[in-house]
Amino acid sequence: MTRRPVAVSNWKMAMTIAESLAWVRDFQAAAGDLLDVVDVIVCPPFTALWATAQASRGSRIQLAGQNMAPTTDPARMGEISAKLLIDVGCQRVVLGHWEVRRHLGDDDDIVNRKVRLALEAGLAPMLLVGEGRDEKAPLPDVLQRRLERVLDGCRAEQVETMILTYEPEGAIGMAAPASPEQAAAGCGFIREWIRERWGNTVADHVRLMYGGSVAPEYAADLLSSPDVDGLGATRRGRNPEAFAEIVRQVARMGLGQSE
Nearest in space to 39 (alpha carbons), one of 201, 258, 251, 259: 251
Show the CA angle centred on residue 11, arms to residues 8 and 15, nearest 5°.
140
Q: Closest by alpha carbon to 251, among 243, 160, 154?
A: 243
Q: Any idea what DSSP says for residue 226?
A: T
Q: Is 99 a catalytic residue?
A: no
Given 97, 160, 169, 245, the catalytic residue: 97
Nearest to 20 by CA among 88, 98, 80: 88
Q: Minimal CA–CA distance to 112: which of 142, 154, 150?
A: 150
Cα-to-chain-centroid distance, residue 9: 8
| Angle 217-138-168 from CA coordinates, rounded to 5° | 35
* Among 19, 131, 135, 167, the one annotated catalytic: 167
**Inter-axis angle of helices 139-150 and 108-121, to 10 degrees?**
50
Any catalytic annotation for residue 160?
no
Q: Which residue in 125, 192, 203, 139 sits closest to 168, CA to CA? A: 139
Q: Give helix 180-198 / helix 139-150 axis angle, nearest 10°.
A: 50
Q: Which residues are catalytic?
A: 97, 167
